[in-house]
A and B are shown apart, each in its own frame.
Chain A
Amino acid sequence: MKYVDEFRDPEKARTLAKEIRDLVGRIERARRRPLQIMEVCGGHTHSIFRYGIQQMLPDEVEFVHGPGCPVCVLPMGRVDDCVALAERPEVIFTTFGDAMRVPGSKKSLLQAKADGADVRMVYSPLDALKLARENPGREVVFFGLGFETTMPSTAMTVLQAKAEGLRNFSLFCNHITIIPTIKAILDSPDMHLDGFLGPGHVSMVIGTRPYQFIARHYGKPITIAGFEPLDVLQAVWMVLRQIAEGRCEVENQYGRVVPEEGNAQALAAIHEVFELREFFEWRGLGSIDHSGVRIRDAYAEFDAERKFSVPNVRIADPKSCQCGEVLKGVIKPHECKVFGTACTPETPLGALMVSSEGACAAYYSYGRIELGSKHGRLQHGGPQRRINP
């Protein structure tokens, strides 16, 4: 496959894995405790599990699966607001597919749909705009969520709605922004991270400069990484090389996509339509200052929160969930009290079990081989492999 298979070459992967082992051997810190590298983005988590990347790395390198899956970190109260909007008879509620399964305090959007709400899956906010044009007698609400990756297309959609003078389209804005979130993790007292894989798609929009504080103020190396398995391996190697050489910089492995300055047009659209909220609630992490955006007054007519009344109730995360500790790398997903018992992909309690990109869901679905290596179950010819039941 042109431009895909090139990034999945097993021979190159083995070479990189060997170089990573060599590097780790040179890092004194790795002898005392494993080096923890956080992949901020859920797309990286997905790649790591899908391709079994952890198994190619030495035991001294551990991935900490960060908060970068927007579906996972959506607070329960916001899902309840979605359901309330969707259940209004005049509303056609539009959403990306994987947001439909996120549980609210009473039901998910998928359950609301089964109960009669007009919930429709779209692949782009522009599809929602098309629905608004085709249904002038209905109110079409688009559920905007995601980091800077999806923010520009939502902003452009609002601009387009304004240009067309559409009166029956609005946005339920739950977009979040990455930098304050990383900062909140770095400020956490129980944090042990040694370096970061920076989110590739977010950085395509914001560029590499906004990450400078991670290297300068917190002394942690960061490499912006692409999503193909070779991208991830090379980025890990780049972070470790910085550690071995005692450097702390922002490096860009994903240069074929990410420009240093970001995408000016996308940033302009974001700035035109959105402004920072004072604080925004995250599942598993609590409230983080300036971590979410809302629609500016100039576009208030397209703000579903102002157009309709939503309950806006804050619902506490279940007490038994340890999502926050998993996100910060303090515990591994399977060390959570309810992992695989009360909290499974069928009945997710915590944020990280919700979407397939969440660390716990990925561990549950894909990662039992890694877990098993500590429990000695599955074996086959060649190196021993084990699986937990």
Chain B
Amino acid sequence: MSDRAEAAVRVIEGSLRKRGRLRDSHITLAHGSGGKAMRDLIEDVFVGSFDNPALAALEDQAVVALSELASHGDRLAFTTDTFVVNPLFFPGGDIGTLAVAGTVNDLAVSGAKPLFLSCGIVMEEGLPVEALRRVVASMKRTAEQAGVYIVTGDTKVVERGAADKLFINTAGIGVVPEGISISARNARPGDAVIVSGYLGDHGTAILVARNELALETQIASDCQPLNGLVETMLRACPDLHCLRDATRGGVATVLNEFAQSSGVTIRVREAALPLRQEVKGACEILGLDPLYLANEGKLVAVVPAEAAQRVLAAMRAHPAGEHAAVIGEVTGEQAGVVVLQTVFGGERIIDMLVGEQLPRIC
């Protein structure tokens, strides 16, 4: 081989060994075709960002040592969730933050230590690559915050019109430490009900970000991982009875699930609900009930009465729980009922929502 030919081979081999680089400005069907464009996308956008050995191996699966899992506890927690949100970006976060925090939180509220996530992405042809990079950067940041690794994934591209910009599925595994037993069935009369902070921020932020209301508020979504907060709570009281993050359907839905699963009544004091003025205002204008608004970084806990103040103090010392409040207590009059004691001294039932909340005409 001539010198020139050898040099050419070196250039070719060198470029083949280089990590793929995505130069397109928009996602095309080629990015889902399994060919070079897809490889470039995966290596540049995902492997480059999430940056961990299990993913960088680029196998069809992530392989995790059982000994590593077993070092954290005695039971595996496994969950999945799919994220669709309009708009993709909103004050306080984006679909990427949601996709990681949501799955981390679903693991955390079982008391599990979240460890590994998968990430399945469906993109609509024409999605700006810049938007994808922003979302992936948010996923990386949120995963770091939560201390989890995104170790495997999948990418699909569908034709324009077949999906709305970007959908993300994340599944997660975590490990539940020995002795922890948290369940919606564990609420007992006498227990205290605690929420971790201001309610309805995410739901209000999304309504405002859709720009349908022309409301001038600065409200930001609360989406954040809660595993750190849960660890703090468990240190203060290993015997947490019920724990759930209050996402779609809001706090009202979680309380109903607790009341029904445990066969108890839950009494909530309206005056004790932590609500921002902006959320109260938006709800007044639209005729919505903040108890049903979505949250993405808030949890509801049912704890033994004697531990309530200890748990509350621990929560308030954590950034994700600084506005935590005891909002009510569990009683035993009737199974499956949630009662709100209004600021006004009256009472009303808080039911499961029928359909979705729709703004009232007047």
Is B284 positioned at the interface, with any CB of A under 8 Å from its CB?
Answer: yes
Contact of B360 among A4, A345, A357 (CB under 8 A): A357
Is A298 positioned at the interface, with any CB of B under 8 Å from its CB?
Answer: no
Interface residue tally for chain A (C-beta within 8 Å): 53
Residues of B within 8 A of A367 (CB): 348-349
Residues of A within 8 A of B346 (CB): 51-56
Known: A53-B346, A97-B361, A123-B359. 19 other contacts (CB 8 A): A4-B284, A14-B345, A51-B344, A52-B344, A52-B345, A70-B361, A97-B360, A98-B358, A98-B361, A101-B355, A147-B362, A150-B362, A356-B360, A365-B354, A369-B348, A378-B333, A380-B333, A385-B347, A387-B349
Are A10 and B343 in contact, with the CB atoms below 8 A?
yes
Residues of B within 8 A of A387 (CB): 333-334, 337, 339, 349
Is B265 positioned at the interface, with any CB of A under 8 Å from its CB?
Answer: yes
A1 to B343, CA, bound (A): 13
B residues whose Cβ falls under 8 Å from a Cβ of A? 212-213, 265, 267, 277, 280-281, 284, 286-287, 331, 333-334, 337, 339, 342-349, 351, 354-355, 358-362
CB distance from B192 to the nearest CB of A (A): 16
A residues whose Cβ falls under 8 Å from a Cβ of B? 1, 4, 8, 10, 13-14, 43, 46, 49-56, 70-71, 96-101, 110, 121-123, 127, 145-147, 149-150, 201, 229, 345-346, 355-357, 365-369, 377-380, 385, 387, 389
A152 to B291, CA, bound (A): 32
Closest 9 CB pairs of A and B: A52-B346, A97-B358, A97-B359, A51-B344, A366-B348, A345-B354, A96-B361, A378-B333, A98-B358
Are A201 and B345 in contact, with the CB atoms below 8 A?
no
Which one of B277, B343, B354, B361 has the highest number of Cβ atoms from chain A below 10 Å of its Cβ? B361
Residues of B within 8 A of A99 (CB): 361
CB distance from A17 to the nearest CB of B (A): 8
Are A8 and B344 in contact, with the CB atoms below 8 A?
yes
Are A123 and B212 in contact, with the CB atoms below 8 A?
yes
Contacts A1-B281, A346-B354, A387-B334; A50 near B361 (Cβ below 8 A): no
CB distance from A383 to the nearest CB of B (A): 10
Residues of B within 8 A of A4 (CB): 280, 284
Residues of B within 8 A of A50 (CB): 342, 348
B341 to A, closest residue via Cβ = A52
Residues of A within 8 A of B286 (CB): 123
A355 to B355, CA, bound (A): 12
CB distance from B311 to the nearest CB of A (A): 24
**Could you list 24 examples of A-B contacts with CB < 8 Å?**
A1-B277, A1-B281, A46-B287, A52-B344, A52-B348, A71-B361, A98-B360, A100-B358, A110-B355, A121-B358, A123-B212, A127-B212, A145-B361, A147-B362, A201-B362, A345-B354, A356-B360, A365-B349, A365-B354, A368-B349, A369-B347, A377-B333, A378-B339, A387-B333
CB distance from A372 to the nearest CB of B (A): 9
A100 to B351, CA, bound (A): 21
Residues of A within 8 A of B267 (CB): 380
Contacts A345-B354, A379-B333; A98 near B359 (Cβ below 8 A): yes
Interface of B is mostly: loop
Contacts A123-B213, A356-B360; A229 near B344 (Cβ below 8 A): yes
Are A13 and B360 in contact, with the CB atoms below 8 A?
no
Are A378 and B351 in contact, with the CB atoms below 8 A?
no
A345 to B356, CA, bound (A): 12
Are A366 and B358 in contact, with the CB atoms below 8 A?
no
A387 to B351, CA, bound (A): 13
Contacts A1-B281, A345-B354, A379-B333; A10 near B362 (Cβ below 8 A): no
Which one of B286, B331, B337, B349 has the highest number of Cβ atoms from chain A below 10 Å of its Cβ? B349
A378 to B348, CA, bound (A): 12
Residues of B within 8 A of A10 (CB): 343-345
CB distance from B317 to the nearest CB of A (A): 29
CB distance from B26 to the nearest CB of A (A): 24
CB distance from A327 to the nearest CB of B (A): 18
CB distance from B340 to the nearest CB of A (A): 9
Contacts A4-B280, A378-B333; A43 near B362 (Cβ below 8 A): yes
A361 to B, closest residue via Cβ = B354
A22 to B344, CA, bound (A): 20
CB distance from A348 to the nearest CB of B (A): 10
Contacts A51-B346, A123-B213, A366-B349; A378 near B361 (Cβ below 8 A): no
B285 to A, closest residue via Cβ = A123
A13 to B, closest residue via Cβ = B344
Are B360 and A369 in contact, with the CB atoms below 8 A?
no
A349 to B215, CA, bound (A): 36
Residues of A within 8 A of B361 (CB): 70-71, 96-99, 145-146, 150
B349 to A, closest residue via Cβ = A368
Which one of B345, B346, B354, B362 has the highest number of Cβ atoms from chain A below 10 Å of its Cβ? B362
CB distance from B282 to the nearest CB of A (A): 11
Contacts A201-B362, A380-B331, A380-B333; A369 near B212 (Cβ below 8 A): no
Are A49 and B345 in contact, with the CB atoms below 8 A?
no
CB distance from A69 to the nearest CB of B (A): 8
Contact of B342 among A52, A147, A368 (CB under 8 A): A52
CB distance from A264 to the nearest CB of B (A): 21
Residues of A within 8 A of B348 (CB): 49-52, 366-367, 369
Residues of B within 8 A of A145 (CB): 361
Are A52 and B362 in contact, with the CB atoms below 8 A?
no
Contact of B349 among A46, A229, A356, A369 (CB under 8 A): A369
Residues of B within 8 A of A201 (CB): 362
Are B342 and A51 in contact, with the CB atoms below 8 A?
yes
Residues of A within 8 A of B349 (CB): 365-369, 387
A149 to B, closest residue via Cβ = B362
A377 to B212, CA, bound (A): 44
A53 to B347, CA, bound (A): 9
Residues of A within 8 A of B287 (CB): 46, 356
A55 to B, closest residue via Cβ = B346
Contacts A1-B280, A101-B355, A378-B334; A52 near B360 (Cβ below 8 A): no
Residues of B within 8 A of A365 (CB): 349, 351, 354
Residues of B within 8 A of A1 (CB): 277, 280-281
